[in-house]
Structure 1
Amino acid sequence: MKKIILFTILSMMLFSCDKEKKSSFKIGVIADCQYCNCDIKWDRYYKKAPQRLKEAVATLNKDSLNYTIHLGDFIDKDYNSLDSILPTWKTLTSKSYHVLGNHDFEVQDSLKEKVLEKLNIKKRYYSFVEKDWRFIILDGNDLSFYGTTSKEKAHQTDSLFNQLKDKNLPYVQKWNGALSNKQLNWIQQELDKAVQQNQKVGFYCHFPIFPVDQHNIWNREQFLSLIKPYKNVKLFFNGHNHAGAYEFVDNVHYLTFKGMVDTENTSAFAKVKFENDTVFVEGFEREISRKLVIK
């Protein structure tokens, strides 16, 4: 009888370990590489970005990562800057994804769509599934004064900005942007799919939702109202605020990763390990290591 009980306990333990192993995975995260052949400004050392990216990729390639994601502002300006750093990015041994940032569109109007082609982005916002997670990549430049590529979106941008500009909101700045109604409707569809398929949800965006400061997307309140009923939303990872930030609100971890381009002698990037009920952020150089409990 004791042997049967012991065998049962061991079987349960092995099953639990196997289940946890199957649901765990690791990724690489970089924010604001922001290369250009430019002089130093705002403590951003633009010319050092290629070497920092090369060193980060070398470190990430030492691990077995499911994918690596860049959280926007891959370049600062000048379309040709992409040719200086994409060869390094393409040496990643993992799958890779890009989020669009405001500076990625600081190129000639005729080249804005070509930025997407260069970065191998087929759609400005999209999603993918990894194990039991659905990751939703947002385009915070969807409505913006620099990133729109249609007259319809330009009109929507003007309309929304004019509605908000007199409300004394710190983030209603022309260097930020917003999610269009079309994108918000698509997000709801993605959240519904995640519920149906019993998936946890993580968002990637260039612009933060929390903390409230001069970096947020304009219609953050609309976004928060949309996700509030969905208890499977667990993470929101972003860049844009190069100093980094973190808040835990309504059981969602809002984490802003530090900008790689900043400071004279240090870089910033991370590996992130997803386990059943915990996400471990292993920060390198200026990036902070964290343990995020998933409730």
Structure 2
Amino acid sequence: MKKIVFFLISIISIVSCKKEENTNFKIGVISDCQYCHCDVKWDRYYKKSPTRLKEAVHTLNKDTLSYTIHLGDFIDKDFKSLDSILPTWHKLKSETYHVLGNHDFEVKDSLKKEVIKKLNLKNRYYSIVKNDWRFIVLDGNDLSFFGALSKDKKRQTDSIFNLLKDNNLPFVKKWNGALSLKQLSWIKNELDIATKNNEKVGFYCHFPIYPIDQHNIWNREQFLALIKPYTNVKFFFNGHNHAGAYELKDNVHYLTFKGMVDTENESAFANVEFKKDTIIVNGFYREPSRKLVIK
């Protein structure tokens, strides 16, 4: 009888371990591929991006990834640039997602909505649920001088920019943007759903929140006030500042991924593994590897 009990306990233990292991998953992260057939500018080697993206796809496909996400500025300008690199992007074996960046809208006004369609986005901001995580994808171009497409959004853009421009804030630049009140309300609803479902939350955006510099989203204070009561918020991943950056604030990991387009000889991308109490960033080339502890 003791042998049978021991056997059953062993089986239960093995099943429990496997169940815990199965909650781990990996994703791919790329930022600022920013391709265009352009000359080098600001240490950005635009013409090298297709080759770098091809290599990243080949490397990421060696792993079993739940999805791969690009953190904005897939192209620099010229709508036709999308046709040059999307075939490579579509070779990813995982599911794929895009965050909208400011340079993605650096096309003719008549083609801006077409960029969204080309990137296969049904909505400009949305969420992804995987295991006990809710990943909230933000649109920092919602209110901006390049991505606000309706008259109302353009009016709101002028209003918030004029309200902040005399406050001597380093990030109130016309190349950044803001979250509309409608999007902020949607974010709160997503956070409430995550809390109800006992889900951890991670944010993706093109524009950073921390550290404070010339790249931040305009209404970062509004966003921070919104998420402050939610202890299930664990990270905020973004691009835009091609040099990369990191800051831990109130147990939230704010990580800026380096731009793929930058420097003459090195690319940058990562795969990210989600474990029970840790996020492991496995960086390639210029992207540093990191261990982010979840509390």
In structure 2, the partner of 1:173 is 173
Which consecutive unaligned segments of at least 5 residues does structure 1 have? none
- What residue identity is the alignment partner of 2:148? T
Q: 1:15, CA displacement in angstroms? A: 4.8
Report matched runs for 1:197-236 at 5 Å. Answer: 197-236=197-236
Taking structure 1 as the reference length, the TM-score comes to 0.97
Q: Distance in 2 between matches of 1:242 and 1:10?
A: 50
Change (3 A) 1:178 1:9: same
Distance in 2 (CA, whole Å) between partners of 1:131 and 1:7 is 30
Cα deviation per residue 1:144-170 (whole Å; 9 max; x = unaligned)?
001111000000000000000000000
**CA apart distance, 1:20:** 2.1
Query: 1:52-67 counterparts in 2 under 5 A?
Result: 52-67=52-67
Q: Alpha-carbon deviation of 1:11?
A: 5.5
Residue aligning to 1:72: 72
Q: 1:4 to 1:235 in 2, by over 3 A?
A: farther
The AA in structure 2 aligned to 1:19 is K
- TM-score, length-scaled by structure 2: 0.97
TM alignment of 1:131-280, pairs within 5 A: 131-280=131-280
d(CA) in 2 for partners of 1:19 and 1:90? 31
Give the CA deviation at 1:9: 6.9
In structure 1, distance between residues paired with 2:31 and 2:55: 14
- TM alignment of 1:14-93, pairs within 5 A: 14-93=14-93
SS state at 1:23 partner: coil
Q: Distance in 1 between matches of 2:23 and 2:73?
A: 31
Q: Note the C-alpha offset of 1:17.
A: 2.0
Amino acid across the alignment from 1:96: T
Q: 1:191, 1:3 → 2: CA distance?
A: 48
User: What is the distance in 2 between the residues matched to 1:154 and 1:61?
Assistant: 40
Decide whether the 8 Å contact of 1:20 with 1:275 is kept in 2.
Answer: no
- How far is the alpha carbon of 1:36 from its aligned partner? 0.3
Contact 1:31 1:257 in 2 (8 A): yes
- Aligned-partner residue type, residue 46 of structure 1: Y
- Is the 1:36–1:77 Cα contact (8 Å) retained in structure 2? yes
